[in-house]
Structure 1
Amino acid sequence: MKALLLEAPLNFKTIDIAEPAAPGPGEAVVRVHRVGICGTDLSGYLGKMPFFSYPRIPGHELGVEVLAVGEGVTNVKPGDRCAVEPYINCQKCFSCTRGHTNCCEHHQTLGVHCDGGLRPQFTVPARKLHISTKLEYEQLALVETLAIGCHAVNRCNPKPGEWVLIIGAGPIGLSALEFVKLTGANIIVMDLSEQRLDFVRTSMGVTNTIQVKGDGSELTQLTELTEGKLAQVVIDATGNNRSMSGALQYVGFAGRLVFVGITTQEISFVHPLMHRREMTLLASRNALSADFSRIVSLIENGQIDTNPWITHRPAFADVAGIFPSLTKPETGCIKAIVDVGE
């Protein structure tokens, strides 16, 4: 089988790998049909993702078909179409035993810490498969992206009528937007790119947007939109340390700030601002199994429309060649879904 290996930053190589062995107890062999490309993959390609290790077969946003199952597997069977929960947890550490499987102390994400889905077949714990009888493979490949936003919104728990500011209109910010919509909160989206903000207005139905110009006008616009309250919830999905450091200024009194993106650089802020407003600062990492099941149901019943999301559909053979362009905002890519083939 052919697989795509990221040997080192900026260096893809097509390699030959063996077909997976028969699945062991609790395992399933899956055929990969679609793979989503996300910010983690792009950061890994650029060498900016702190958890990424090399050489690595990327790919953790997956729409797959079950080919075979091992002893004791009852949740899936051959022929099932599934989304993959790519967070492999040990089930034994303190975090796992408390239900925090998203931040297992021995956590391994497919395509980041261990090999992922840019290959035709591989073996995965069957408990990480989430079935749908209705969704297409490319929709199933979107579930993991949406799960990141779902978990972040669960962390900050917006209430109906609250103002929620989402900083960053890339895929993670947009995934958070989908779940803030379901809460009945008021949404404002902030980004550097007017192209992305236009997508938010025309395709995602959010009219309140703020373009970052770096001149202080962002805070003025937010103050005007919220009638002086600022945001009760701020979700920073940029992964940019400057944005994350500055995000506190947008949080209103007794508000919550969630960092979804990851940076390798320091985040700094003046503490009296946080203390005076009694802010709550939260991190959001990965997602939980229940998030995946919920998202499959939401897409199936039409509460989440996946049609605006997929802007690029490259073939497996073209992935290495298009990666440099996907790192550029002007490409206009919201989500690229790779067709791995039959």
Structure 2
Amino acid sequence: MKALLCDEPGRLTLVERPKPARAAHEVLVRIRHVGICGTDFHIYAGKHPFLAYPRVMGHELSGTVEEAPEGSALSAGDPVYIVPYLSCGTCHACRKGLTNACQNIQVLGVHCDGGMAEYLSVPAQNVIPTGAIPLADAAMIEFLAIGAHGVKRGGIGAEDRVLVTGAGPIGMSAIIFAKARGADVTVMDTRADRLAFATDQLGADRSVMADDQAEATVQAITDGNGFDVVIDATGNAGPMQRGFAFLAHGARYVLLSVVRSDITFSDPEFHKREATLFASRNAQPDDFAEVVRQMEAGKVPTRALNSHTGRLSDAVSLFTEWSKPEAGVIKAILEV
């Protein structure tokens, strides 16, 4: 089978590999679509902290069943998407149902080889029927589930005024699911094109440029109160720390971003607000189900999100092209 291998930072090779052998508890999936996310671009650029090269990337995956275990509800040809978090099922977190925070987690395409290949064999519990959702759209379920999980962590409701900082795909997913809960949503970013997309295509109520005047703008928008929920999706320690200044009294701050460095904040300011800080990692089964429900309800603008498509056979050149900011990529999807 063909697979796209990241040999080292900045070097991709389309290689031939043996078709994987399916273990008794696994489903062999013929991969059809692979979404490319920031993690993949970070791997390509050599910026990912948890990765050993060479690696087959790809964790936003949809395909069709090639082989399934005897007695499985899945049959050959069934359209499916893949949950890419391989949890151990036995650690403290897994026993509490927090499989997204498994102490021994293996994420496809990061800790082990992923789905930028023609076939992938994964545990049956990680293979989910797509129902009526087209396979190209199903390749976006995972990144959307990240945002859905963050919105759930923040306990967002229709009474909340929400600020999403960072209008990349993960921030966009948070906007979609905060709006689905009826919240008033403001988005902040340094890129005018991303802000326009968030308001025009995703239904964000307003946008704020992340410039030197952002604090004053937030005060004006919120009548001096700040936001009930702030969701950070910037992936940058500076904006993560800045976000504490946008919190209302009693607010919740959800960090979708993760960075290698420490972040700091003023304890007196945080304490007097009785604010709550949440980490948000990966997604849980109910978050994936929420994405499917909202897709089926027509609440996810999949055509607008899927801005770039190409074939796996052209991926070596496409990665270089799509990694440039001027390419204007929202979500790029490879067809396998």
Give the TM-score band, short-chain normalised.
over 0.9
Partners of 1:14 and 1:271 lie apart in 2 by 51
Partners of 1:175 and 1:259 lie apart in 2 by 14
Whether the aligned pair in 2 keeps the contact of 1:24 and 1:71 (CA below 8 Å) is no
The corresponding residue for 1:227 is 223
Q: Give the Å deviation of 1:72.
A: 4.6
One-letter amino acid of the counterpart of residue 53, structure 1: A
Q: Give the Å deviation of 1:63.
A: 1.1
Q: Give the Å deviation of 1:4.
A: 0.6
* Cα RMSD for the two superposed structures: 1.3
Partners of 2:298 and 2:199 lie apart in 1 by 20
The corresponding residue for 1:179 is 177
Whether the aligned pair in 2 keeps the contact of 1:163 and 1:233 (CA below 8 Å) is yes
2:138 matched to 1:140? yes
The corresponding residue for 2:6 is 6
Whether the aligned pair in 2 keeps the contact of 1:26 and 1:71 (CA below 8 Å) is no
SS in 2 for 1:274: helix
1:296 to 292, 296, 312: 292
Q: Give the Å deviation of 1:328.
A: 3.0
The corresponding residue for 1:104 is 102
The corresponding residue for 2:39 is 40
Partners of 1:228 and 1:159 lie apart in 2 by 21
Partners of 1:328 and 1:260 lie apart in 2 by 23
SS in 2 for 1:322: helix
2:318 to 314, 318, 322: 322
Q: Give the Å deviation of 1:30.
A: 0.3
Partners of 1:194 and 1:62 lie apart in 2 by 30
Unaligned runs of 5+ in 1: none
One-letter amino acid of the counterpart of residue 185, structure 2: I
Q: Give the Å deviation of 1:154.
A: 0.6
2:195 to 194, 197, 215: 197
SS in 2 for 1:299: helix
The corresponding residue for 1:160 is 158
Unaligned runs of 5+ in 2: none
Q: Give the Å deviation of 1:162.
A: 1.2
2:268 matched to 1:262? no
1:210 to 171, 192, 208: 208
One-letter amino acid of the counterpart of residue 76, structure 2: P
Q: Which runs of 4+ in 1 moved over 4 A?
A: none
Partners of 2:181 and 2:142 lie apart in 1 by 20
Whether the aligned pair in 1 keeps the contact of 2:184 and 2:205 (CA below 8 Å) is no
Whether the aligned pair in 2 keeps the contact of 1:7 and 1:54 (CA below 8 Å) is yes
Greater displacement, 291-300 / 146-155: 291-300
The corresponding residue for 1:68 is 67
Partners of 1:61 and 1:260 lie apart in 2 by 17
SS in 1 for 2:304: coil
Whether the aligned pair in 1 keeps the contact of 2:176 and 2:203 (CA below 8 Å) is no
Alignment length (residue pairs):
336
Q: Give the Å deviation of 1:294.
A: 2.5
Partners of 1:271 and 1:54 lie apart in 2 by 40
Whether the aligned pair in 1 keeps the contact of 2:179 and 2:204 (CA below 8 Å) is no
Give TM-score scaled by structure 2 length: 0.97
